[in-house]
Each structure stands twice: as C-alpha cells, then as structure tokens.
Amino acid sequence: MKALTLRIEPSVRQTEAILSRVEQELAKHGARVTRQGVGALRFRMPAPWPPWRALRLGRLWMISAGRVKIAAGAGGPWQVLYELDFSVLRTVLIVVSLVLVVIGWSWPSRTLLYLMLLGIWLLLYGGPHFFASRRFQRVISESMRDVVERRRTPRSSQRVTGPTEITLERPIEEERKE
C-alpha cells in the first residue's frame, strides 16, 4: 500500500470529508464505490470496453479496482493509504505476450523475441501503471489538502512581525562619550 502522510490527526468529520471527495472524484470516472466502515472505501472501475469509453475515464482507465483507507498504523503518523489493482491490464498483456511467444518461437533470433516482450511490458504496462498511479495520487492529495489545511488562503512568503526601520534618538557613539 502506498501512503500520503497527513499533517494532523484528522477528526471523524475530516476523515469523512476526505473520503467523500475521493468518492466524488471516482464517481466522475464511473467507478462503483462502497464504504467499508469509518475511514475506508473500496472501488471498482468500469471496464474500458468499448475502447471509446476509455477516453471518458481519463488516465484512470488502466486501474481495475482499489482501496483507500485513513489510518495511523502502530502509533505512527496518520496517513491516507491506498492500493491500486491493475489486473485487467495485466491479463491483457499476458495474453498479448503469449500470442507473441507463439508467433516468435520460430524466429531465428530469440533475443529479438525477448526484447520485444520486454518492450511490450515496459511500454504497455510500466508507462500506464506509472501515469495512472501518479494521477490517483494527485486525486488523493487534492482531496485531503483542503480538508486538513485550516487556512483558506496560503501564507504569504513575506512575514513582517515588527517595525521595518529602527531609529535611534541619539547615535550610539554619543552615548559612549558620556
């Protein structure tokens, strides 16, 4: 499970707000979301079939299912934990790999077959897995940022705590002479 650490310990209301925002974002993409008690949810994404349906799902279409949970394990910091399942994408690539092995087994150079298999898995599994995971992490972080942060506007980078100029009534050198 991957985790994003929360700055503070969330209240029950904040936990519900974070999970409901994640649920709303997943519902926009057509996911079926079920709550699992306080502080957890499961979701299942729709199958991207027909292929034009995948365009509506955005970068999350590669994800088959997943879980989101807010917890503090073993007295550690509070975190939003999430786990993503890419079983449909993995199954499709296994079938494509098997077809490629059957076709390429008679090739004179097996090195070419191995390189093609490696390339297919890197391009068609590694790339989509990376981009979908990053997008889902962004969904989680955007959902928790506004709830946990107390300020509605970010702090300004310039902070003035007192007067900017100090004026002395008498110069320091005159005080030393006396």
Closest alpha carbon to 45 in 29, 24, 67, 34: 29
- Is residue 53 within 8 A of residue 113, CB to CB? The reply is no
User: Which pair of structure tokens corresponds to residue 105?
Assistant: 């087994």
Q: What is the DSSP letter of 75?
A: G
Residue 20, by phi and psi: left (phi above 0), alpha (psi -120 to 50) or beta? alpha
Average pLDDT, integer, range 111-138: 91
User: Which pair of structure tokens corresponds to residue 139?
Assistant: 């969904």
The partner residues of 172 in beta bridges, in order of sequence, read: none
User: Which pair of structure tokens corresponds to residue 48?
Assistant: 């991207």
Neighbours of 150 (CB within 10 A): 7
Dmax over CA atoms of the chain, in Å, equals: 104
165-178 pLDDT, tens digit per residue, is: 555 455 555 555 65
Model confidence, pTM: 0.71
Is the preceding omega at residue 50 within 30 degrees of 0, hence cis?
Answer: yes
What are the residue boundaries of the structural domains of the chain, listed by start?
A: 2-150
- Which range, 39-48, 118-127, 143-152, is most confident? 118-127
What is 2-150's CATH number, 1.10.15, 3.30.310, 2.40.50, 3.40.50?
3.30.310
Average pLDDT, integer, range 39-47: 89
